[in-house]
Structure 1
C-alpha cells in the first residue's frame, strides 16, 4: 500500500475503535523477509490486536517470536491479527480484558508464561484517548479512565513481568509526540504519555544492573483506530498532513522502531526514545 493515500472523513463512536471499519485500512505489513532477529523469543504485546500493536505483532512473528496479544474487547480485530501472526509461521495467544485491573494484568503475564514457556520482551502499547473540550471541563471519569489505561496498566503489566525477565530482556513503552510538544486538545492523553516516558526512563535506570533494557517509542500522527475513534470526521480527513512529510504515518513504519529496541540491534540503547513522527523536531 502506498504511504501517500487520501484519508476521507469518517468517525466511529467507541474507543478503542475497530480497525476493520477504517477506510483506507491501515498498512501493517512488514516490508522485508525476516532474518531471525527474535528467534526463540516470547513477546507480550498489549494492544496487539490493531494499529501499531498489530504491526508489531506481525513483524515480531516474522522475526521468529511467539507473541501474546493482550487486548480490551475488539475480538474481530484480535482474531485477524492472530491469523496474520500464524501466517508468518509463529504462534499467537489472545488474552481479552482490561489491563487497568491489576489482577487481570497479572493473569495476562502468567498465561503468557504458562502457554508460551517464558517471557523475553514486554511491549506496553495499549492506550486510550479522547479529545478534551477544555482543561477546565475535563470529565473526572474520562480522566481517571485515561490514566488507568495509559499509566496504571503499564505499571501493572511491568510489575507482573519482572519476575520472569532475565538478563537480555527488553521492555518498550509507547509514548507520543504529544509528550514532548504538548497538545491543547489532548491534555489528559498527553499527560499520560509524558508519564509513560518518565516511567521508561526511571525503569531503565532501575533495571540496567539486571541487564534489562527499557526504551520508548514516541509516534506522531499514525493512521490507527485511535483517529476515527477520537476525532470529528472533518479532522480525520487528510489526517497527518500538518507534519513536515505531509502525511500520516502507517503502523508498519512504527513497528520497525519497536523491533530495533526489542532486538539485539538495540543492545546499547536503554532509557532512550525513538521518534517516528513524520519529521517533527522535538527535544529528545
Structure 2
C-alpha cells in the first residue's frame, strides 16, 4: 500500500514538473512570437529579414516541443488515473488512512472555505476586477490594492531594478501583487483560461481549493513539519505542488509587488480568496531620481 501511494506521489510530482515546463515553453513561445511581430515593419532591411527567419524557426521548434510535452502530460495524467482506480479497487478506501494515518493525523488541515462551494469555470467571479492596459487594448490587468501606484511604474517606466541574488520564500497579501495580466481573448473566455483549453486537472474550482490550503501548509511548516512530510497528505500535497515547488516570483516597489513570472492562475486564485501567498522576491524597483 505504501508503495502504491509513493508511486502516486511520484507521478504527481512528474505531472507538476511537466505542467511547469509547458507553462515555461508557452511563455517563451509567446515572447518569441511577439518579437517576430515587432520585426515585421523592418523586413526591408536584410539583417532583420535574416533575424526574422531565425525567430520564426525558433518559434516552430518551440511549438513542436510544446505539442510533445502536451502529449506527455496526457499520458502521465492517464497513468495517475489508472493508479488511482487500482488503489480504490484493490486497496479499498484506506489509501490515506491505516499505516499512513500515523504520519498525517497530526497535520493541521482546516476545512476549506471553498469546500461546500462549486466554482464555475465560465467566470472569473465577483472578487476579481480587471482594467484595460492604457498601453495596449489587448491586455488587461487584475486590479490589486495598489493599482494606481502600479500605473505610474508601468506607464512611465522611470525605475531602476536591483536584483536579489538569493531570494527567500516569504508570504505577502495576494492583492498586493500588481501586473497579473490577461489578454482580451482570455478575458472573454474564462473557461478556456481556467481549464487551459481543456487540459487535464485544470479548473477554477481545483485552483481555488489548492489556494485555500496555503495557510494550512504555512502553519504546519511553522510547527516544525517539513514539506516532504506534508506531501504525504493528499490535500496539502496539491497545494505544495502548486504554490511551493515553483513559487510565484515578484519584484518589490515600495509597499507593493510586481508580478514577474508564470503563475497567473495561482495568483488570481489567491487574489480572489484575498489570502496570503508564498512568493520569491527577485529584486526591487526604485524610482530613477
Fold equivalence (TM over 0.5): no
Structure with bigger gyration radius = 2
